Structure 1
Amino acid sequence: MALTAAEVKNAKPGDRDYKLGDAGGLYLFVTAKGAKSWRMKYRFAGKEKRLTFGLYPEVSLAEARTQRDEARRLLRENKDPLLEERRREAAAVAAAGATFETLARAWHEDEKARWSEGQAKLVLRALVRDIFPALGKLPIRDIDGPMILVELRKIEKRKAIETAKRVRGYVSAVFERAIGEHHVEVNPAAKVGKSLKKTPVGSKQPAITDLTELRDMQKAIDRSTSNATTKLASRLLALTALRVGVLRTGTWDEIGGIDWADPGAPTPDAVWRIAADRMKLEVQDKGDAAFGHDVPLSTQAVEVLRTLHVLTGRYALMFPSDASTRQPMSDAALSSLYKRLLAGKYKGRHVPHGWRSAFSTLMNARAADLDRGGDRMVIDLMLAHVPPGMSSSEYAYNRASYAKQRRELGQAWADMITEGLTDPMVVANIQSP
């Protein structure tokens, strides 16, 4: 006969330990000292075993029956309830030691092979600054969506809207790893994305696309008090339409077709060859040499490089930092220059990445004016835009097939944006040989 709540409550200690049976193997074990605990007897693989569900009254009769029913369900699935309980306990112990910071650093260590050195530093710096102080020491299983959102809101208050979105992505990736390692079952970071502020219209990678204003901006850069290397980096960025991270980490051995010993030598084949692993590509493509990016260099780009070579040609890096010639120029050097130029005239209106947008906008407009519809593909190739699904052989073929057009368009672009600009040697305050 099944027990009643009253019988359980009124069970008194006796001269020796005894049992009060319920049903389905469940019973109340009463010791001579008066302790009461819920236990279950069962057989698995021909052996008699016992589970303990906890002390009464912490575990009520109803709760003990629920645990018994769960154990019986496992038996029907041919699983040993005792073994499953030990597994849960082991997982709980592991999860308690799995803090967010521990897992985040493990995730970062494994992922950084996919990134450039600068990107790896940026990701870790963001986590250390914005997430670890509040959430780093907590077990990852104890972190929920509202807690993550609080930290992301702090980033938004700095008006760093895009940074908040990127950090949410990092946190989400850490949780996905934790799910795979069975520390958690859900990813709370995946659910807070829609709660973040929207990027203000026009604030994402702002770019000036008026040709006259672009020239005026470059003239202001030339007259600024910034150092010569930074000024030349800005002009070369404009001429090549490269991503700023690729430009500032460039090395002299990537430049071909220029005789540095003869300033007057022609350079019809001057080129900047950038390996695939330095480009913004899918991970599987970074190891494929065919996805490398060759930048045909205009005569104006060669002039900038000849000037720069006088300043930094003895180093491996084209744009070494002021602190160490073994480290590249800071990723904030150009953006800081643009922000402070002419008392902030260009702040929020043009960023280093904006040269790519300016190049695409103005050169596509030129193609339309001249009825050159085929320039669109060439422009995309010059921006290293690889269409989704394009194979390495196809990309390499297109790049080679349009080499002449790419050089011609690069020269046309250079002629447009450098009209009326000061000679780079003058900008760098270098006496011509």
Structure 2
Amino acid sequence: MPLSDTAIRNAKPGDKPIRMYDTGSLYLEIAPSGGKWWRLKYRVDGKEKRISLGVYPDVSLKDAREKRDAARKQLANDVDPGEYRKAAKSSNVLDGENGFEVVGREWFVKFAPNWVETHSDKIIRRLERDVFPWLGKRPIQEITAPEILAMLRRIEERGALETAHRALQNCSQVFRYAIATGRAVRDPAADLRGALPPARAKHHASITDPKLIGALLRAIKGYEGSLVTKCALQIAPLTFVRPGELRKAEWSEINFDEAEWRIPAERMKMREKHVVPLSKQVLALLRELHPLTGHGKYVFPGARTNGRPMSENTVNAGLRRLGYSNDEMTGHGFRSMASTLLNEQGWNRDAIERQLAHAERDAIRAAYNYAEHLPERRRMMQAWADFLESLSLSTELTSFKTKAA
């Protein structure tokens, strides 16, 4: 039943906080001291949250309902009212809806659920460190291209050219969001195309010479550290998933009967479920590891607790322990190794790209689903595992049969 002013005025405090509920998840909380606070309860991504809407009688029942309705409109537009309030407070602009930081945080809250956690963390840190301090308090519709360029030059001057390019991209995304929500009319960041020197592409160190690959695999087989790390090092070249996907692997995702590892979309960089066909060699390694970690959640748990996956540096540290420098081989380099050799050996490029879970560059490829080319990928992954096994057993170059007759 909705609240009334009379009921609120006559409400007495108790020994414990008392809640008087109105409609639409609005309620009045009465403290034992007599103070009366308006609260709104809501959910975002399944998580329950609360915000304060002011103190009664300074905020009347009518005012509280208007604030509730405004917050519910934000929720309908996928905007967290609590996060929006934080942004408005931190930007400290007269018109909070138009401050670049307010709009930037609103854009981030809206789109972050579609990104993997590591990607979203990098974006918000970049905005907070490199963009908001200089542009955050400015009304977004008043920001000019020279202002943005001055901010980018600060990043460039410290030698972080790639970060400058990414900051420009993020700014452009925020401006386009502001245009879509009626708070800007154009994107001044678009005027800066070509204003920054091109960033040099980063390449992860990798070994692609078959003889050197054989030596690496033999070194991994002789690894004298923990069994968890050794198995991770052995499985990495056989599956060539991203290091983050490998270390966060869960036993519930492994299907021994189907010889598959199905990684859920929320853990993939491209937010699409991914199937990794498991070769006989990978299945053997997993069965060897299962008695040790199979009682827990993670295939490769951390050294100190089974409740968390191994550190992101574990595989690279293992390679360093084997004598391979960061300029010679990295955990991510196993992907380059597989891509280079599989393409050289004539496997279907689309099957290789799908197995690498790369972003598709055109509409046709973007339409492919996670199971596309799966029969061929199964043959390819087993042939790849057989090839690596043969390299590890011989110092001579071994021929690689790519396709079944």
The normalised TM-score by structure 1 is 0.57
Q: Which amino acid aligns with 2:135?
A: L
1:366 counterpart = 2:355: no
The percentage of counterpart residues that share the same residue type is 33
CA RMSD of aligned residues (A): 3.8
- 1:256 maps to which residue? 255
Per-residue Cα deviation, 1:342-383 (whole angstroms, up to 9, x for no partner): 78x63345443322221121122233xxxxxx5444434432
Q: Which residue of 2 aligns with 1:383?
A: 356
1:197 aligned onto 2:176: no
Other-structure match for 1:27:
none
Structure 1 CA distance, aligned partners of 2:225 and 2:293? 16
Output one character per residue of 1:57-109: Cα deviation in whole Å (capped at 9) or x when no partner: xxxxxxxxxxxxxxxxxxxxxxxxxxxxxxxxxxxx97565322222211111
8 Å Cα contact 1:252/1:313 also seen in 2? yes
Alignment check: 8 A CA contact 2:98 2:139 kept: yes
Contact 1:168 1:193 in 2 (8 A): no
Choose the corresponding residue for 2:331, options 346, 352, 375: 352
Q: Unpaired runs of 5+ in structure 1?
A: 1-92, 259-268, 287-291, 368-373, 422-433
Q: Would the aligned equivalents of 2:260 and 2:275 in 1 still touch at CA under 8 Å?
A: yes
Contact 1:95 1:183 in 2 (8 A): no
Residues 206, 348 of structure 1: 8 Å contact kept: yes
Instruction: Note if contact 2:155-2:164 (Cα within 8 Å) is conserved in structure 1.
Output: yes
Structure 2 CA distance, aligned partners of 1:277 and 1:336? 27
1:243 partnered with 2:242:
yes
The 3-state SS of whatever aligns with 1:119 is: helix
Q: 2-side partners of 1:188 and 1:148: how far apart?
A: 8
Counterpart CA distance in 1 for 2:176 and 2:366 is 30
Conserved 8 A contact 1:296-1:410: no
User: C-alpha deviations, 1:15-65, integer Å up to 9, x for none?
Assistant: xxxxxxxxxxxxxxxxxxxxxxxxxxxxxxxxxxxxxxxxxxxxxxxxxxx
SS at 2:287's partner residue? Answer: helix
The answer on 1:410 being equivalent to 2:391 is no
Matched, 1:302 2:301: no
**Secondary structure of the corresponding residue to residue 127 of structure 1:** helix
Question: Structure 1 residues 163 and 233 mapped into 2: Cα distance closer, same or farther (>3 Å)?
Answer: farther
* Structure of higher CA gyration radius: 1
Shift of 1:175: 1.4
User: Are the equivalent residues in 1 in contact too, given 2:215–2:392 (CA < 8 A)?
Assistant: no
**Structure 1: distance between partners of 2:154 and 2:315:** 26
Q: For the residues of structure 1 that align with 2:139 and 2:303, how far apart are their CA atoms?
A: 41
Secondary structure at 2:373's aligned position in 1? helix
Residues 309 and 194 of structure 1: is their aligned pair in 2 closer, same or farther, counting only changes over 3 Å?
farther
Matched, 1:120 2:120: yes
CA distance in 1, matches of 2:111, 2:136: 19
What amino acid does structure 2 have at the position aligned with 1:382?
A: Q
> Could you tell me which amino acid in structure 2 is paired with residue 210 of structure 1?
D
Aligned to 2:260: 271
Please report how far the alpha carbon of residue 239 of structure 1 lies from its aligned counterpart in structure 2 after TM superposition: 1.1
Alignment correspondent of 1:315: 296
- Tell me: CA distance 1:318–1:191, structure 2 relative to 1, closer, same or farther (3 Å): farther
- Conserved? CA contact 1:240–1:297, under 8 Å: yes
Give runs of aligned pairs for residues 149-160 of structure 1, distance below 5 A. 149-157=149-157, 159-160=159-160
Query: What does residue range 23-422 of structure 1 map to in structure 2 within 5 Å?
Result: 95=95, 98-157=98-157, 159-200=159-200, 203-217=202-216, 229-257=228-256, 269-281=258-270, 286=272, 292-321=273-302, 325-334=306-315, 346-367=325-346, 375-384=348-357, 388-390=362-364, 395=369, 398-402=372-376, 404-416=378-390, 418-419=392-393
Question: 1:256 corresponds to which letter in structure 2?
Answer: N
Given residue 347 of structure 1, which amino acid in structure 2 is its aligned partner?
N
CA distance in 2, matches of 1:399, 1:325: 35
CA distance in 2, matches of 1:149, 1:179: 20
Amino acid paired to 2:383: L
Which residue matches 2:402? none
Measured after TM superposition, the shift of residue 271 of structure 1 is 1.9
Partner Cα separation in structure 1 for residue 304 and residue 135 of structure 2: 33
CA contact (8 A) 1:249 1:317 kept: yes
Corresponding residue SS for 1:104: helix
Deviates more, 1:271-280 or 1:356-365: 271-280
Cα offset, 1:165, TM superposition:
2.5
What amino acid is aligned across from residue 249 of structure 1 in structure 2? K
Worse overlay, 189-198 or 171-180: 189-198
Residue type of the alignment partner of 1:406: M
Q: How far, CA to CA, are the matches of 1:158 and 1:211 in structure 2?
A: 39
Q: Give unpaired runs (5+ residues) of structure 2.
A: 1-92, 396-405
2:235–2:282 contact (8 Å) kept in structure 1: yes
Paired letter, 2:239: T
> Partners in 2 of 1:160 and 1:349 — Cα distance?
23
Aligned partner of 1:116: which letter? V
Task: Tell me how many residue pairs correspond in the alignment.
Answer: 302
* Cα gap change, 1:342 to 1:185, in 2 (>3 Å): farther
Once residues 304 and 155 of structure 2 are traced to their aligned partners in structure 1, the CA distance between those partners, rounded to angstroms, is: 29
Q: Supply the distance in 2 between the matched residues of 1:196 and 1:333 (Cα, whole angstroms).
A: 36
> Structure 1, residues 229-259: CA drift from partner, whole Å, max 9, x if none?
444333322110112232232211111116x
Query: In the alignment, residue 180 of structure 1 is paired with which amino acid?
Result: A
Aligned equivalents of 1:103, 1:295: Cα separation in 2: 39
- Structure 2 distance, partners of 1:117, 1:244, is 14
1:8 equivalent in structure 2 = none
